[in-house]
Every structure is written in structure tokens, then in C-alpha cells.
Chain A
């Protein structure tokens, strides 16, 4: 069989450009797979390492009778440990900035068994040193703090100075989200410090909440334990209870990483599909062209199995040639991607491992795609009756009017050369179909990626342009007098001020409970836009709640239903009807009119206002205005909404880079595929083309005809490609969608146009080598080959 091996290599060599295109496509697919899948596994492992090192709680219950919850929880099967702690949301003053702060209580003597911290710099807490705190990594790095730096916390009796003793990371704040709603946190606005329990005694008791923490034993039935603890929490009037998956930081991260994991499988699959198509076309061509050789082999006593294996070999070799370097490159790149990702999120521990299953799965799929695509042509080769085969190369395709001509009769009056173009498509349906399908794959890949960019950009623009219209939100200290509003309005650069109330609450229905923020505005607010879900009220109603649309399903609610709104710490529970649902891109909030909230609480509106929405002069330097706002007495914290928007853009950077890469790779894939199928198209007809050239057809005319046919094929693929691409983008965005991000596909109308143009350009580019081949057709040689 040595000679057959030599034949294999020579046949591949003769079609090296096409085989190279296939090998490159397979390689890219596997690089993408290894890179994203390994990075995905590394990230999961990195997170898990942090969870293990810190004893991340499996279940958390906030509020209610914590003591009773802990002792009841300890008896739940699967619960290995339980603990209690206090957490306070209080303003912090750092470097002249006033921001929302959180003080998490830890035992000063030793790390707690559940929800401990990783001390990255400095030391752990010391008993008796109440003012010494650990600052969470994101805040420490953002403000450039080191052990010895000082900061202030708003205690019950005014600002109290603290000293940083170390920098710490925590599983709860890998993604530094203040609440589950706060999916786009900005370190400018929110900081976490870990302090000894003693410090919590000095803080405003209304700001302090108790939490019960549970850790499961190995092998526990997590779902059962989650459910049992949930029931206990409810029985003891807990305000909030969530399993590890719903913990704010973890919820945001797992959302992100699940999308990543899905992409790690879906996009490479598109590549392998495309490579498979190209291999199939290439091999079908090869077998057709070598019919007489196959006949010769069979007639001379080669077994059918040998012939089958010989042609299958092409797919296996192409698969291997693409897979091995592709996988290697992907595995190497996975390290960098992991680093990029963990750095962007600021994960303190980075695990980079080589995952044998990536290699196994990659090899299986890469080589498998090549072999699978070759299966049908190889079988056809082995099944050829020797006699038919000896009759030599078959004329490519049958005659007949094309469907297009039957549908559009005027086409029948086209000059003969353009008829040749139109009929060329029907000539080899399988090849035309493969070309079109390849274009569909490329369009899907590009459109899906691009649709993701479009959607996030559109949603961010809507969130910050139409929904959240304030430039800053100023949180007021408890004792602040109504006069602060006037003072804030007088700050240079501030052009509008509106009172608002913003409380962390639980919304409860018979179907469950959801933790969110209740935000109260004046009814004629200009700081927030309410976009009702069909049929809802326009703007903020005089009575009743507007809820984020996700709660309709989550809490099984309809307009007119009554819900309970529970405010932790304050021990207040009110009942209110649902007046409507709003459709907002980020988060799921509850809204109510300020006078109505005052009414149900039975208090004066001035008393419940805890924050001010501020509009700034667009020309003003926001950082300056922010500083001036922070300096106003009675202002506890300032959240710069525009900075949030910028932070959102930053977080999206990595995502855009990844998606941009996909668009580029999609273009390469389209190029490789279109090139392969189109050169197969040419090689099928070399004799025909050579005889046309001999008859005096100019090279340009011939080039125009071939380009015409190939472009027509591309257009035939683009139309379904755009449709499939659009649908797949929708499915993909839906996978990312949740109560935190409502990702309804929002594709710009220009995007499909760009994609169509890009694919046409790719098709035109891949014409270039094809046309060069036509140009080089040696008429004398081709004519001689056939007259031998």
C-alpha cells in the first residue's frame, strides 16, 4: 500500500490550496474550541478554588430570627456547618469620596469556617483592635490603598476613622456587586470592608442585618438542602434567602460563564461543520475525477475496502493536519485568555490546567469531522462498478433548463453564455448546496456575534438614555434635613434635583420572594423613564407598584395582584397592588410613587426620602461636581451614573474583543469555504473552459462568467444565511437573558446589510485565486490530455 500512500500525498499536493483551506478551517475551529473550552474550565476551576479556600456559603438567609434559623438549619440533612454574622450597609469616606459601603463582620480571633477571606496583603484582624479593617481587593486597588491607609465609616454617632490592616479577597465579592440587581458595579460607588464584629456594635442598628450561613457536607443533596433551608427561612420571617447560585456575585459570574461555555461549543461546531462541507465537496470532486483510476484499481484486484480506506484517508489526514496544530495553539492560547479574563474580573486565584478531555474531545471532533465528511464520497468510490469507472471521467452534470428559467421566462432570452451561468448552479446541486450552506454557516457565525454586540450596545444606550436618566444619585445621611435638597440644588454644575427613596426590599407573592430595590420617584419625574410592558400604565401610577417584567413569571403575578413588600432591618411590611410591569434592560426593580409610599407607610414624604436624583450641566466636569456634592454635609454617598455607563463599556471590552475575533474568524471561514467549493467548480470544467478559450473566448469574459456564477451562488446562500443567523442570534441572546440582563435581540437594521456585503466581498476575494487558476489553464495541455 506504499504506492497508495504516495498517491494520497500527491493528490493532496495537486489540490494543496483547497486542502489547505480545509485544514485551516478545521484548525481554526479547534483552536477556538481548545481556547474557549479550556479557558472556560480554567475559570470555573479558579472560581471553585476561591470558594474552597474561603468556605463560600452554600446557603445564606438574611433577616428573620437568625438564631432560630441557624439551630433549625443545622438539623437539615446535608448541612455540615452553620454560622451567624452581621453585615451593615453604611456610607464610607475614602480619599474625599463618599460612597456606598458595606461592613462585613468577621470573628477577630480567627477566620470563620464559612465565608472567610483570602488575605492578599497585610494581616488578618486582631482582637481588640476594632478600628483595624481588611479592605476588599477591588476597592483597595481602585483607590490605591495599602495597609496603614485610613478611611472613614459613618457610625451611629458620626464619621469614625478606620485603619486598613490588609487587602482581602472574598468569594462573595469576586464580582463586586452590591446586590443582585447591581450587575454593573463601579468601584467608585461601592466598597466592602471586613471588620471585627465589635465594630458592627458601633454602627447604626437600622443599617445592620443578621445573616445565617450554611455550608454543606460533601455528597449532600444540594437541591433538597436548598429547599429545606428555604422553608425554614420562610417560617422564621427571613427577608431574603438564596442558594450559592443566586448569591449576587456568583449569579452575575455564572451567567457570564455559562454564556462563555455555550459559545465554546457552538462556535467551534460551526467551524467544523463548514470544514466538513468543504471536505465533502473536495472529495466528491476527487472521486469523480478519478473514476477511471478507481476503475483501474478495482479491475486490477484492489479490494473495495482498500479503495474505501484510501479515500477515507484524505479526510483523516486533513482532519489530523488541522486538529493537531489547532488544538496545540488553542491550549497555549487558553492560558492567556484565562489570564486576561481573571485579570479583567480581578479574580485573586488563577488555575490554569491542561484538561485531557479537551484534547480527547478535540481530536475526536476534528478528525471525526474530516472522516465523516469523506465517508459518503469514499463509499461511492468503493461501490463503483469497475466497468463504469473505466469509462472515465463523467461529464460534469446533466443538461436541462434551470428552475430559475422556468420561473422567470425572460431569462430564456439571455445570451448563451449567461444561460451557462444560470444553469451552472443547477449543474451540481450537491456542490451548489454546499456552497450555499457554507455561506449560511459564515453568516450565522458573523451575525450571531455581531447581533450580540448590537444588542448590548442598544441595551446599554437604552438603559442610560431612556431608563436611568439621572447623572448622579446622592444618598442622604439619616439625620439629613430637608434643606439638603436645596443645598444640593445650589451646587455649581447641578441643574436639576429630585427627591427619591431607594430601599432594599423583598417582594413576596404566593409563588415566592425576590430581593430587589424599591425606588420611589415623584410622579412627574424626569429622572427615570418607565417603559410599560404592553397594556400597562404610562408613567408612574398614583397607586400601586410597577415591577420589572421578569417578576411576572418569577413571582407568578398579574396586574391587580397584591404583593408584600418587606424592608429588612426596619421590620416594615406593606401590601400593595401591582399596577403594571416595566421593560428595563438591566436589573429587575420595583417602583412606586413617592406620595403613595409615604401614605402606605403612614409617614411624611420628607421623612422617607433617602436620596436625591441629580441632573448635571452637560458641560460641567462631572468629577468636580461629584466632589462638590460629596462635600455637602448630610450627603452620605454619591453614585455617578455616568461613571456606571463608562464602567459598563469597560466590562464589555473583553466581550467585544472576543466577539470581534469571531467576526474575523467567520470571515476567514467564509473565505476558505467559498474558495474550496468554487475551485472545485472550476476544476470540474477545465476542459470545457479550455475549449472555450481555444474558440476565442477572452480571459476577461470567462472570468466574468465564472465570477457571475459564483456570486449568484453566494447570494443564494446569503438570504437563508441572514435568516438563520438572525434566529440563532435570538436564541443565543435568550441564553444570556435573565432577571439581571434582559437581552432581547436588538439588531441594527444595517447589520445584516453589512454582513451581506462582507460575505460578498469575501466571495469576491476568494475568486482571485480561482480566476488565476482559470488564467493559467494551459489550453494546449488540457486539449492534449483529452485527446490521448
Chain B
């Protein structure tokens, strides 16, 4: 299946990038991080993006998440053109439709696990769901712990709960297992995988780790700012079986 076909299949409910490029700097020092990327992702897919360092993965994720603007091309999410949004509308887009998970968990150290989740949930007007979101990631008994009292995996799970509590359409994860050991990484992966199964949520995971790719519905490989391969896996393995 070509990217164009995939985009056709995604229809209005999915994610569509048309000729998206990104150039940093100008003149002699210009770096072309993304070169004319066409990509469509259907709702409910668990997508893994692989690629060597510097290939433009983070750049792509940031553009989709609305924290960076493309220098060329356009993209739409659920039929809405991001370029047409004002700054405030872009903030609302991130608040309501996007969940971010980073390699470093970026929790607020002065707030408990529960409060960290509430902080974001309040934004979306869903603070009553915070405890539930933490229970979903298996942290029902850690609600009152501060980040410094949690393990790395637990912190990452708080970050996932924080991203999921507002029920975003898109869950964007940049190296979510990068600072975790195998077992913990596997747990986190399972959570992300489960998140894509429920309410037609699209989950995009950026990683260096090709082992993770075996659990994906679709694997996109990048190189030098371009998509070099895009394959759909009809029978991905369960996240629990991933070994690396």
C-alpha cells in the first residue's frame, strides 16, 4: 500500500500530511530536516516510526502535535487544517486532541502523581477522571507519591496517564521507552498499544528500537528527512512478546 492509498483510506477522521517539509535556518547553514513528506494515518492505528538519528522523526512528531510549524506543505487532523488555526485554536487543538509522551517524563516535581495528571485534566475539564487514568496505568496505589518517590517506569506511566486523561485523538510518543529497562519498557509499550485499541485513537511512537516495531500495525522508516519505507503489518505480535 502506498502512502497515498493509506491517506485515502484514513478519510476525514485521520491524519493527513501533504508535501510537508521543514527547513531550519537559512542560506549556507540551512538544514532540511523534512523533505516533502506525504503521509496518511487512519484512526485507531498503532504506528511506529523508525529511523537513524537526525532523520527527522522528532521534527515530524512535533509538526503533527502542533508545537512546530512546517515550512512547506500542509496537514490536517480529523479534516481540520492546522495551518488555518490561530494560536489560541492551536493551543486548544493540543489540549483536546493531542497527548504527548516524552523520553524524559517532564513531570512537575512539586505535584503528586495525581496532581500531575489533574493539572492537565483540569485544562480539558476532566479532572474527575484523574484517579481512574492512573488506575488504568496500574498506579492506583501511587496517587499521592511525588515524582522523586517514583521509579522511572512509574514516572513514565504517570506521563502516559497524563497524556491519556483527556482522551486525545492522537497520542504522540517520542522515545517513550528510551530511558527504561526491558521489563518496564514492555509494560509501557503494552499501555500505549492498549490505548490505540479502545476508542479509535491513533498512537504514533518514535523509536530507534526496531524490536518495538514488531508490535505495530504499521511501520514507517525514515532516512534523511524522507519516508524510505512504509509497511502495514497484518499480524503484529502482542506487546508482551517483544524482546530487545
Interface residues of A (CB under 8 A from B): 395-400, 415-417, 419-420, 423-424, 426-427, 687-688, 690-699, 701, 779-780, 783-784, 786-787
Contact = CB atoms under 8 A, between A and B. Distances in A.
Interface in B111-141: 111-112, 115-116, 118-120, 122-124, 127
Contact of B102 (A400, A692, A787): A787
B109 A427 contact: yes
B118 A399 contact: no
Most buried by A among B100, B106, B124, B174: B106
Interface SS of chain B = helix
A317 B67 CA distance: 38
A696 B167 CA distance: 13
Nearest to A685: B108
B11 interface: no
A698 B87 CA distance: 9
B95 to A, nearest CB: 3
A124 to B, nearest CB: 82
Contact of B174 (A415, A688, A698, A783): A783
B96 interface: yes
A780 B68 contact: yes
A400 to B, nearest CB: 7
A416 B148 contact: no
A399 B58 contact: no
B102 A423 contact: no
Most buried by B among A400, A426, A691, A692: A691
B149 A399 contact: yes
Nearest to A785: B104
Given A692-B108, A783-B58, A783-B102, 15 more contacts: A399-B110, A399-B146, A415-B122, A416-B118, A416-B119, A417-B122, A420-B108, A424-B110, A426-B110, A427-B110, A687-B104, A688-B106, A694-B94, A695-B95, A699-B87
B146 A691 contact: no
Given A424-B110, A696-B123, A415 B118 contact: yes
A715 B227 CA distance: 55
Contact of B92 (A399, A696, A699): A696
Contacts of A415: 118, 122, 127
Given A420-B119, A783-B58, A783-B67, A695 B110 contact: no
B147 to A, nearest CB: 6
B67 A694 contact: yes
Contacts of A424: 110
Interface centre among A416, A423, A687, A697 (most CB of B within 10 A): A416
A697 B118 CA distance: 12
B102 A417 contact: no
B91 interface: yes
A397 B110 contact: yes
Nearest to A426: B110
A420 B110 contact: yes
Given A420-B110, A688-B108, A698-B91, A787 B174 contact: yes
Interface in B42-87: 58-59, 62, 65, 67-68, 87
Contact of A397 (B109, B116, B119): B109
Given A415-B118, A693-B67, A423 B103 contact: no
16 contacts: A398-B109, A399-B109, A399-B110, A399-B146, A399-B147, A416-B115, A423-B111, A427-B110, A688-B106, A695-B163, A696-B166, A699-B91, A779-B67, A780-B59, A787-B102, A787-B103
B111 A420 contact: yes
Interface residues of B, number: 46
A697 B109 contact: no
Given A694-B65, A779-B67, A787-B58, A399 B111 contact: yes
B98 interface: yes
Interface string B167-208: 000000011001000000000000000000000000000000
Residue among A415, A693, A694 with the most chain B CB within 10 A? Answer: A694
B148 A395 contact: yes
A248 to B, nearest CB: 65
A399 B102 contact: no
B157 to A, nearest CB: 16
Nearest to B165: A695
Contacts of A701: 123
Contacts of B115: 416, 419-420
Contact of A416 (B65, B103, B122, B163): B122
Contacts of B116: 416
Given A419-B115, A688-B106, A695 B94 contact: yes
Contacts of A400: 110, 146
B219 to A, nearest CB: 20
Contacts of B166: 696
Most buried by A among B67, B111, B120: B67
Given A416-B118, A787-B174, A691 B102 contact: yes
Contacts of A693: 67, 91, 94
Contacts of A687: 104, 106
Contacts of A696: 91-96, 98, 120, 123-124, 166
B112 A399 contact: yes
Given A420-B108, A427-B109, A691 B100 contact: yes
A381 B140 CA distance: 40
A58 to B, nearest CB: 69
Contacts of A398: 109-110, 146, 148
B243 interface: no
A691 B106 contact: yes
A665 B229 CA distance: 65
Contacts of B30: none
B29 interface: no
A419 B111 contact: yes
Contacts of B103: 786-787
B218 interface: no
Contacts of B67: 693-694, 779-780, 783
A416 B106 contact: no
Contacts of B62: 779-780, 783-784
Contacts of B107: 688
Contact of A399 (B87, B148, B175): B148
B130 to A, nearest CB: 9
B123 A697 contact: yes
B228 interface: no
Nearest to B63: A780
Task: Name the residue in A395, A688, A701, A783 with the highest tally of chain B Cβ atoms < 10 Å from its Cβ.
Answer: A783
Contacts of B68: 779-780
Contacts of A692: 108, 119-120
A417 to B, nearest CB: 6
Contacts of A395: 109, 147-148
